[in-house]
Structures are given as C-alpha cells and as structure tokens.
C-alpha cells in the first residue's frame, strides 16, 4: 500500500511541546480528525484502546500507534515528529520521537496489515530514520516518506 495514499500533505506534523505519550496520541488524533471525518475524541479513544493491549512502540525511537474504526472506509496516516522524545514504553526502553499514526476501517482486514507493513517499512531502516529526523520542515518530511515508497516500488 503506497504511503502517498495514506499520508496526506497536511498529515505530517512537527511538534515542540509534547511531554507524554497521551499528549502525542492527542496530537495524532487532532491531526487525523479532518482527514478522516471523525471526531478527534473517537480517534484518541481508538488509539488508547489499542495501547491498552500493549505498546505500539517499535524501537529505535519509533512508534506506530494505530486504531481500527467503523465507517472509516480507507487507511489514513499521520506522521508526527517530536522535538523531544517521550516515553512510549518501548521494548528497547528508548523514548519515541517518530510516530506514524494509522487509522483503518474496522473491517479492513488485509488492508490494515498492508498499511501497518508500509509504516513499519518506513521506520525500519536506520538511514530512513536519520532522514526523517533531519528533514527541516513538514514538506521535506513528507518528501522523505514518499521517496521511501518510491524506492520500494522500484
């Protein structure tokens, strides 16, 4: 699943003042609300419910908080880069500064897994993480995200 289909131009957020995991999840939900047509509170609830099952931190300062919601219809992603990493209860104990928030329809099945795989692929490689952390603004950050998928498709 191409990341360009998941992450809209206004789905990339750089943020300075987040002090907690919950605050990061709130930012993801707020950014995703206009992209999904859902209320931010419903999105946040979905993210929190998923986190109760276990952390979505993937290690190396990255996380993929995600939720499945009825009536969404398509996968929607929000990429959040934090200026200061926050504790996300990661298995490797590293705080998280790169978050790929993902929302899919409750009945998405394989599309949910494909979207998760695409997000994980972006964050898996050290060079990608370095480029994501070095991007000077949201537009450059989105360009890194889209270039990664283009490289995979080649």
Structural domain boundaries of the chain? 3-153
Confidence tier at 153 by pLDDT (50, 70, 90): very low
Cα distance from N-terminal residue to C-terminal residue, the chain: 14
Is residue 41 pLDDT above 80, yes or no?
yes
Q: What number is the average pLDDT over the span 82-90?
A: 94
**CATH superfamily ID and name for 3-153:** Mannitol-specific EII; Chain A (3.40.930.10)
Question: What is the per-residue DSSP string for the chain?
Answer: --HHHHEEEEEEEEES---SHHHHHHHHHHHHHHHHTS-HHHHHHHHHHHHHHS--EEETTEE--EEEETT--S-EEEEEEEEEEE----TT---EEEEEEEEEETT-THHHHHHHHHHHHHHHSHHHHHHHHH--SHHHHHHHHHHHHHHHH-
**Looking at the DSSP assignment, which residues form a beta bridge with residue 88?**
none
**pLDDT at residue 85, rounded to an integer:** 95
Active-site residue flag, 112? no
Q: What is the rounded distance in angstroms from the CA atom of residue 153 to the CA atom of residue 31?
A: 28
**pLDDT at residue 108, rounded to an integer:** 80
Per annotation, catalytic residue among 15, 45, 66, 112: 66
Is residue 152 pLDDT above 50, yes or no?
no
């Amino acid at each position: 699943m191409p990341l360009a289909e998941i992450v809209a131009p206004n789905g990339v957020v750089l943020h300075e003042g987040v002090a907690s995991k919950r605050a990061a999840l709130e930012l993801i939900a707020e950014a995703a609300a206009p992209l999904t047509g859902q209320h931010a509170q419903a999105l946040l609830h979905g993210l929190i419910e998923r986190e109760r099952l276990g952390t979505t931190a993937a290690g190396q300062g990255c996380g993929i908080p995600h939720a499945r919601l009825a009536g969404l219809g398509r996968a929607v992603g929000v990429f959040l880069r934090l200026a200061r990493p926050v504790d996300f209860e990661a298995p490797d104990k590293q705080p998280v500064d790169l978050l790929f928030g993902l929302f899919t329809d409750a009945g998405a099945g394989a599309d949910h897994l494909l979207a998760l795989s695409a997000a994980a692929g972006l964050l898996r490689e050290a060079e990608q993480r370095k480029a994501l952390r070095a991007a000077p603004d949201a537009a450059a950050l989105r360009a890194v995200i889209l270039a990664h998928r283009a490289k995979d498709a080649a």
